[in-house]
Amino acid sequence: MMTTGAPRYDLARFGMEVFRASPRQADLMIVAGRVSNKMAPVLRQIYDQMPEPRWVLAMGVCASSGGMFNNYAIVQGVDHVVPVDMYLPGCPPRPEMLMDAILKIHAKIMDEPLTPGGPPSWPPAGTRPS
């Protein structure tokens, strides 16, 4: 993940160079690595503190499915804790794959309507001059 922000791959050219550690300033959560049962409520609390709209990317096989750690202490997939928008395979995934996943989430965001019912009509219905 850090290599993706470094000069060789340079997420800054897409306007995504700043990684925010505060959930109140972030709209994308990248879950990297395994999530323990002890950490799951904390992860959910951080997700709940993020402003709407928010997206989650499960990076790597450990976050997606628990990886090789199939025991009582590890959550078998972060989708049991928070809703996941994009799964990124790999152990660890390549920086190109992370950039591609972020750009796919960006394309998904661009395809969504601005409001739940679609774009608002302007001027409002019934107020058009004759």
Q: What pLDDT sits at residue 39?
A: 92
Q: pLDDT, tens digit, for every residue of 53-85?
A: 888 999 988 888 877 878 888 888 898 999 998
**CA-wise closest residue to 76 among 40, 25, 112:** 40
pLDDT at 40: 92
Q: What is the pLDDT of residue 53?
A: 85
Cβ neighbours around 102 below 10 Å, total: 21
- Cβ neighbours of 104 (radius 10 Å): 14
Rounded Cα gap, residues 106 and 50, in angstroms: 17
**Average pLDDT of each block of 10 consecutive residues along the chain (130 residues)?**
76 74 81 90 90 88 82 88 89 86 86 64 53
pLDDT in the model for residue 62: 83
